[in-house]
Each structure stands twice: as structure tokens, then as C-alpha cells.
Structure 1
């Protein structure tokens, strides 16, 4: 099983014991703070713990490379990274990240986790590009992606309507050769412990 160790975060496979923790993060409060930034224009449909556990089951059985991994900080599961195929036949891949508890925001943990994840995806998948889609209502995500060398590839203006305001959809991406150059300058890869 792959474990990716960074300086402040670890990316590791999902364990069965993570499922109730993730469920509490996602469904535990009526107005979870993270959802205000993670595509809030898509409603979060209520789900029982049993249904959620069943949906997560595929990630417990997934072979390498896993489609979703836990972000751990100081022994605590704080979020997830994932990828999905926009179009697998053309190797068009999109990555995602969520850090659920707001007490872990604005500390560089998400940027580090995303850097480790992008590096892992380029190492383990035959792809030329890693993409990321967000929206103009999530400036922290845009800044994190820019810090890693991702480029703004598309901006669909005023196509997301949320709570009476129009927002832009933001498409960002980085090519393999751009990543190889960018990561030379990133502190996350200086004297990094080996992954296992």
C-alpha cells in the first residue's frame, strides 16, 4: 500500500476506520464550512452512514493507484485527495482536494498535500497533464494551485450561480514537463523522506 510522506502531511490509503470520520466531516453539521468552498452550487444530498460506507467500499478495495487517499496531519485524518477521469480514453485526468476542518486551512497543508498528489499521479499514471477545476468563490484553491505552478487554462465567466451571485468556473492545469521544473523550487520536495 502506498504511503506518501511529506513534511507536514501524509497521504495514505483509506481505511475502514476512516469512514465514520469522513462521514462526520461531510454530513455531521447542517452547515459545514468546507462545503461553502467545494462546489456549493451542487447540493449535498443527505446520506446514511451505511450508504456512505457502501459508496466508500470501492476505495477500500482499489488497487494501485488509488483514486482517493486520506490526508493525515499529526496522526489525524483531515481530508482527502482524489482523481477522476474526465475522459480516460484520451488520458484527461482531473485532481481534487478537500481539507474538511477549517482549523487546518491557511496553513499550507492543502498546498503540500496537492503537491504530493500531483507528483504521485505523474509518477504512476501515463498522463501528460493534471487538471483541477474550481470556481472564483474559492480563492484559496486558486492560490494553492498557482503556488504549485498550475496555469489558468480556462475561465468560464458567470456560469455558476450561488446565493444570488454569479461566479466563474476556473480550469487550471499543469503539464508533466512543467511539473518537473516547478517541483525543483517547491519546499515540499527538499530532503523529503522516501515514500513506501
Structure 2
């Protein structure tokens, strides 16, 4: 995958140098702040660094035209999170995307929305997709706002499906169809590639 440079973020393949910082951001604390928003109703299953590194290597080996997980960095080169996808139903050309910005200092300032937009652009441009979906929960207001800003529509609300800290939340499914997504032609643009 070629690197994709936006105004504030860059998407690039996960490299060997990213393994330790990613593991530290994901598992380095007893109660990481990011997990309070990313499906907190599921416990974080901790794995040791060797297992984590093996998982990343296996994902890189998969024979897909687009890697299923890529790094999000600032344009200055600081690793801050990942975007990902998985096939919901490959025969229907439907996949689901995900994003995690692990560093709270990059929340609420457009980094995640820009990264998700670049990722969806790239997926629609690179794969013969009909739709892209996103699953979240009603307690994650930032994720909902980002998806709405990008034109994703609320497609399903499963009421009281997520129990977190003795409170029920709704499970949400959002999505966008290819014909609804304004794909940006990035060919020939200066500065599109070349993440630090």
C-alpha cells in the first residue's frame, strides 16, 4: 500500500518499528483511556508482546490487495493509532471499518475524522466495494459524530444491547454506499505520498 498523506494525518503500513509503540499504547497501562470508548463492554484480552508481534506479522502476510490494518501517524511522524477493516460479507462486497486513536491528546481535534475519511476513500478506490459499514455503541459520541460528518447513515439501532457500568446502551450500525461517497482522485496531487 502506498502512503496516504492528509492535512494532519498519514496512513501507512505498520512497520517493524511500530510494534513496540503500538503494544505499549494498547496494553501498556492497566486501564488504557482509549478502551473506555472502544467497545468497553468487552474486556481487553491482554497478550504478551511476542503474541502481539506474531498477530501483526500474520495480518501482513494475508493476501489481500489492501492490508487489513494500517498505522495512523501525524504528518510529523508520531504514531497515534490504527484504521482497520474486516469483511462482513465478501461475496456482497461489504466490509466494516474501524479506527482507534490511542492517544487522548489527539481526540476531539479532527485527527480521527480525517484518518477515517482517507481510509474510506482508499478502500472505495482500491476494492470493488458496494458498501462500507461501521459498528459502534451509543456511548461513543465522538465516533458517531465523525461517521455522520463523513456522510455515513444510521442504519440500525439495537436498543439496550450493550451493558457498561450498570447502564444499557444501544448497539449502532452505520454505513455508506459507494454511490453516496465522493471519492477524491488523488492521482497527481503534490504531497499526497511521503509520510515521515
- TM-score after normalising by structure 2: 0.91
Does the 8 Å contact 1:6/1:192 carry over to 2? Answer: no
Shift of 1:45: 1.1
Segments of 5+ residues of structure 1 without an aligned counterpart are 185-190
Matches within 5 A, 1:1-196: 1-62=1-62, 64-73=65-74, 74-180=76-182, 193-195=191-193
Counterpart contact for 1:16–1:60, Cα < 8 Å: no
Q: Deviations over 1:49-103 (max 9, x none)?
A: 0011111112333453111110001211100000001111222200000000101
Instruction: Give the alignment's TM-score, normalised by structure 1.
Output: 0.91
CA contact (8 A) 2:154 2:173 kept: yes
Name stretches of at least 5 consecutive residues in structure 2 with no aligned partner. Answer: none
The answer as to whether partners of 1:15 and 1:60 remain within 8 angstroms in 2 is: no
Provide the rounded CA distance (Å) in 2 between the counterparts of 1:75 and 1:194.
15
Cα separation, partners in 2 of 1:30 and 1:192, compared to 1, 3 Å: farther
2: distance between equivalents of 1:75 and 1:62? 26
Q: How many residues align?
A: 190
**1:194, 1:54 → 2: CA distance?**
31
Residues 121-160 of structure 1 show CA distances to partners (whole Å, capped at 9, x for unaligned) of: 0001111111100000100000000000110011111000
Task: Answer whether contact 1:4 1:195 (CA < 8 A) is retained.
Answer: yes
- Give the drift of 1:192: 7.1
Deviation of the 1:195 alpha carbon: 3.9
CA RMSD of aligned residues (A): 1.9
Cα distance, 1:193 vs structure 2: 3.4
